[in-house]
Amino acid sequence: MIALDGPSGTGKSTVARRLATALGAGYLDTGAMYRTVTLAVLRAGVDPADAEAVAKVAERVALSVGTDPRRQEVRLGEENVGVEIRGQEVTLAVSAVSAVPRVRELLKMQQQELIAGAVDRYGGIVVEGRDIGSAIAPDAALKIFLTASSDARAQRRTSQDASEGRESTLDATKLDVERRDRLDSSRAASPLRPADDAVWLDTTHLDVAGVLDRILELVDERELRGVAAGPGRW
Ligand code: DC
């Protein structure tokens, strides 16, 4: 089990998916789960700042996420919401929703089930988020904390928005990235925080291949390939 934590725009998702593919492991994007609950909150017409009402939505939300790194699937009920959860409305509201302790408690249970299922199926899993090494999987064999300057992160987010057809400007994206970091790091319930034993990796001057190489070195240093008792795929 590999935990990949850090703020947005550090390249986490791309790196986590490629790492999982390279290792034949499963992949879990926990941010997508918080985003899907947020979408349900907005659709229910609930104020994201109303913790009690948000918790009620989260209790009855039918959310499912796949763990195949080559085919990301995020559903709200039967509906595939993979594109809509990346939109601006959800991005603006997700930090408030993910600060609600009951939301975190519910998603933690679901994440731990998904992790156990993927370890059975693939023999291992790469999980990305904000509190994976510190709260969800403190026993992870390798914990990485990705960082990058806020300029680099805003630049990456803006390019990603453009390539996926969303309108954004560098300045507005930088403000959003900094706002979310502040909110995600300062909330009381399992904030964005590196685990004590996490390896820090600054990606400001590295491309995806460079980050991946460094992580694969760590995987090999710790002799993590072939350790799992699953189908022997890593
Ligand atoms: O990784 P992302 O940008 O898709 O995550 C969206 C939001 O979800 C992020 O601003 C904070 C929250 N989040 C969280 O609180 N804990 C996690 N493990 C993952 C994401």
Kindly list the domain boundaries of the chain, sorted by start residue.
2-219
Q: List the one residue out of 2, 43, 8, 1 whose CA is nearest residue 203.
A: 8
Q: Is 110 helix (H, G, I), strand (E, B) or coil?
A: helix
Q: Within 10 A of 147 (CB to CB), how many other CB atoms are there?
A: 15
Q: Spell out the alpha helix ranges (H) of the chain.
A: 12-23, 30-43, 51-60, 88-98, 101-122, 150-163, 170-186, 208-221
Q: For the segment 155-177, what is each residue's pLDDT rounded down to a tens digit? A: 998 998 888 888 889 999 999 89
CATH 3.40.50.2020 given to domain 2-219? no
Average pLDDT over residues 123-144: 96
Q: List the one residue out of 17, 37, 28, 27 whose CA is nearest residue 84.
A: 37
Indicate whether residue 95 lines ligand 1 (CB < 6 A). Answer: yes
Indicate whether residue 180 lines ligand 1 (CB < 6 A). Answer: yes
For residue 73, the model assigns a pLDDT of 95
The answer on pLDDT for 100 being more than 60 is yes
Q: Mean pLDDT score of the chain, rounded to an integer?
A: 93
Q: List the one residue out of 110, 215, 152 whose CA is nearest residue 7.
A: 152
Q: For the segment 23-79, what is each residue's pLDDT rounded down to a tens digit? A: 999 999 999 999 999 999 999 999 999 999 999 999 999 999 999 999 989 999 999
Residue type, 120: D
The answer on pLDDT for 227 being more than 60 is no
Q: For the segment 174-217, what is each residue's pLDDT rounded down to a tens digit? A: 998 999 889 989 999 888 889 999 999 999 999 999 999 999 99
Q: Is 134 helix (H, G, I), strand (E, B) or coil?
A: helix
Residue nearest to atom 6 of ligand 1 (CA): 31
Indicate whether residue 184 lines ligand 1 (CB < 6 A). Answer: yes
